[in-house]
Amino acid sequence: MTPTLDLACDLISRHSVTPQDEGCQALMMERLAAVGFCNESLRFDDTDNFWSRKGNSKPLVCFAGHTDVVPTGPTARWDNPPFEPKIIDGMLHGRGAADMKGSLAAMVVAVERFVEKHPDHKGSIAFLITSDEEGPAHNGTIKVVETLEARNEKIDMCIVGEPSSTHSVGDVIKNGRRGSLGAVLHVHGVQGHVAYPHLAENPVHMVAPALAELAATEWDQGNEFFPATSFQISNIHSGTGATNVIPGECEIVFNFRFSTEVTAEILQARTEEILNRHGVRYDIDWQLSGQPFLTDKGALVDATVNAIRDVTARETELSTAGGTSDGRFIAPTGSQVVELGPVNATIHKVNEHVNAHDLDVLTDIYERILERLLA
């Protein structure tokens, strides 16, 4: 067992299902305080967060992540109890091993080693950790960022420990993410008997042509950094359960994952134009979860790519694919943001696991990034 694996196991053993932290952050803060960090606990509503910083000069390099994990699902389907970490055939098993307690352990150990080797390093190092990333994300990173912005404390570069890798640690890093725009569409019809359709108005029939057009629409063609914007319906609900009743209402839930070629306002306007043109009677509730962001090649991307090459001799791919992350709250402040973590093949699944050796490699990479930026 290495220091990184020891810490990862300690974190995994804590039942920190969103928004619970279960002492993970206290453990991390204790380790960081021992190497000169000043800790600040920031609790908002039901969510524990902390901001920890060493140094007052620029550039400020921040490690960001979350101690919360998703629910385990049926524990009987796990080969090993999800909160009893165990290494089996070289794989560390447990909820959060990949997403993202393994990364948190690697970050802490990397910083401990870096500070020991470079006590008079340039710039500053910080940690921004939440227990609300896997949940609504209303009281986590976004609130900490608002606190930092209010006192004009700026993050220059941020490494988010989300599991970015596909086959081997470091083969993919995320230097951006698509935006996420969701909506709940309520279509209003007139309920009636299926034998008397002229006395009713079926909202499913009313909205179906509009949904077909929305699904077939090309919103943009993407660009060199982002794939084309996608529209996906995730839920449709209507009817009373009876076979002889025309429903009076229909609810459709859908989502856009969008590139920098369009804005949320454009997507909303084009969607509503299609609905109006088809004569749909509706109300719609929009929710913007995050704007698209991109960190182009520069100090952080270059340091990360070169650090991966230094440690693994591997060339890394820059990607903006996948879901959202808390990077969407940090990037708008002007910070450079990359996501680098272990292989993501088992995240959120039963029997979540990660290659144990990969966490030590990840520790080496994080330390090497710091050396390239602050040594």
Radius of gyration of the chain (CA): 23
The amino acid at residue 230 is S
Q: Exposed (0-12), middle (13-18) or buried (19+): which is 70, by Cβ within 10 Å?
A: middle
Q: Is 133 a catalytic residue?
A: yes
- Cβ-based neighbours of 217, under 8 Å, separated by 6 or more: 231, 270, 274
Instruction: Count CB neighbours of 339 within 10 A.
Output: 29
Token pair recorded at residue 325: 């992350």
Catalytic residue among 68, 339, 352, 360: 68
| Cβ-contact 286, 235 below 8 angstroms | no
Residue whose entry in the numeric block shows the structure tokens 């209303």: 138
- Reported as type and span, the H/E element at residue 26 is helix 24-33
Beta strands, E only, 175-248: 176-177, 179-188, 192-193, 230-238, 245-246
| Cβ-contact 86, 93 below 8 angstroms | yes
- Which one, of 96, 72, 88, lies nearest residue 24 by Cα? 96
- Which one, of 3, 152, 161, lies nearest residue 96 by Cα? 161
Phi then psi for residue 246, to 5 deg, are -75, 125
| Cβ-contact 289, 181 below 8 angstroms | yes
* Pairing state between β 179-188 and 353-355: unpaired
Catalytic residue among 21, 112, 133, 364: 133
Distance in angstroms between the alpha carbons of the first and the last residue of the chain: 28
Quote the CA–CA distance of 237 and 40 in Å, as a whole number. 45
Q: List the catalytic residues.
A: 68, 133
